[in-house]
Amino acid sequence: MLEKRNILLGVTGSIAAYRAVDLVRRLIDEGAGVRVVMTESACRFVTPYLFETISGNPVGTDLFADPFTHITLAKESHLFVIAPATANTINKISCGIADNLLSTLWLAYEGPALIAPAMNSRMYRHPTVQKNIVAMEKAGVTFVGPETGSLACGEEGEGRMADIPDIVDAALTTLASRDLADQNILITAGPTRESIDPVRFISNRSSGKMGYSLARAACRRGARVTLISGPSALRPPAGVTFVPVTTAMEMQKAVQRCLNRSTAVVMAAAVSDYAPAETAQVKLKKKDATSIKLKKTPDILKGIGRSRGKRVLVGFAAESGRGLASAKQKLKEKNCDLIVLNDISREGAGFDVDTNQVTMIDRGGRVTDYPLMQKADVADIILDRINEMKRKGK
């Protein structure tokens, strides 16, 4: 997603400097070219050689090593990230002091910027630091973190540099096109859980990865996102309105509550089709649980399909085998605009993996096969299709 993007990473003198090594790796994984610039204090924590090895590029430390680096690097970069950013660097760059390569680059740079502060919590709360952060935010700089937790000094508090995935996510968001800025997207994800008794339940293998990837991508592209999720081990993406639910009934109620304000709905949840007719209030003894009477759960998507209005409606079809006919039938029966068919019996597709291999079928009968790809990329394609339908006023 960061293909052909040059990221300038400023590393300053915090113990969190060692975590910036992983940040470089993750940004490169996303396709970015990374140039690292370090302050003198940063070099006391981590050597430039390490960043040079990881980034595959020379590391800048000395303003006077080359007369024009501070101009050329600033012009070539699409995003300036400072992680970790100390109080000292934040205070200096906010008022335009240019006394080393990093702070001089900051003055010469004109594009989007992202700062991940890292410092002791009392330093972070200091009025000068807070005033400068607010001023920089007003000027359009994005701050990610800091997190609350145990700090290097042994104290607990706000000041830990944000988690690396959150910084990468913020970088992706900053550089993404905001083509869904006028959309309000409701996404369901994960399995539902239908209780048999206080310890047992009926559920399925869904991890929520597809729905959470959709929520993350939609958010990044500027949409307001509501994510209604059954039980999942995943962390909800930053910026979404998160509604945790357990059962199909709870998911249906949550969907009904949030439907009005949505312009598009994506039902990525693997809703359990059946629930026990009765839930025992105490744990069943094994001799009493030889058979379970089931009742059908509501078909949430079908319900939305009946009163969908102008909103774009996307469903999934989980099939063992190609299942094209079944997916087409679901599209029609549930009154969807698009069905995303995934053959869960294929290697690397379906439940609890990072990849998926899908076929999309739209109302007009267009069938498009996609190769095996990351769920994050599948998410973007689904969102492209929603956008296309919205623009055509389908």
Q: Binding ligand CTP by CB under 6 A: which of 66, 147, 299, 384? A: 299
Using CA atoms, how far residue 130 sits from 88, 120, 123, 159, 369, in Å, is 12, 13, 9, 12, 51
153 is catalytic: yes
Q: Which is nearer to ligand CTP, 145 or 315 (CB)?
A: 315
Q: Give the list of residues 6+ apart from residue 298 with CB closer than 8 angstroms, or none.
A: 248, 249, 252
Category of 297 on φ-ψ map: left (φ > 0), alpha (ψ -120 to 50) or beta:
beta
Q: Which of residues 266-295 bind ligand CTP (CB under 6 A)?
A: 267, 269, 271, 273
Q: Give the list of residues 6+ apart from residue 260 with CB closer than 8 angstroms, or none.
A: none
Q: Which is nearer to ligand CTP, 11 or 267 (CB)?
A: 267
Does position 300 interact with ligand CTP (CB under 6 A)? The reply is yes
Q: Measured between alpha carbons, how far is 46 from 59 in angstroms, rounded to an integer?
A: 12
Does position 316 interact with ligand CTP (CB under 6 A)? The reply is yes
Of the listed 43, 153, 219, 336, which one is catalytic? 153
Does position 318 interact with ligand CTP (CB under 6 A)? The reply is yes
- Closest contact distance (angstroms) between CB of 370 and ligand CTP is 17
Residue 3: closest CA among 32, 24, 25, 23:
32
Q: Which is nearer to ligand CTP, 95 or 325 (CB)?
A: 325
Taking every pair of C-alpha atoms in the chain, what is the biggest distance, in angstroms? 83
**Angle of helix 19-29 versus helix 48-55 axis, rounded to 10:** 10
Does position 186 interact with ligand CTP (CB under 6 A)? The reply is no
Q: Which is nearer to ligand CTP, 80 or 201 (CB)?
A: 201
Q: Which of residues 224-263 bind ligand CTP (CB under 6 A)?
A: 248
Please give the size of the binding site for ligand CTP, defined by CB under 6 A: 14
Contact 255, 188 (CB under 8 A): yes
Contact 342, 358 (CB under 8 A): yes
Tally of CA atoms within 13 A in the half-sphere of 162 that contains its CB: 23
Q: Binding ligand CTP by CB under 6 A: which of 315, 338, 378, 379? A: 315
Site string for ligand CTP, 330-369 (x = CB under 6 A): x---------------------------------------
Contact 134, 126 (CB under 8 A): no
The residue ranges that bind ligand CTP (CB under 6 A) are 248, 267, 269, 271, 273, 297, 299-301, 315-318, 330
* Residues belonging to the active site: 153
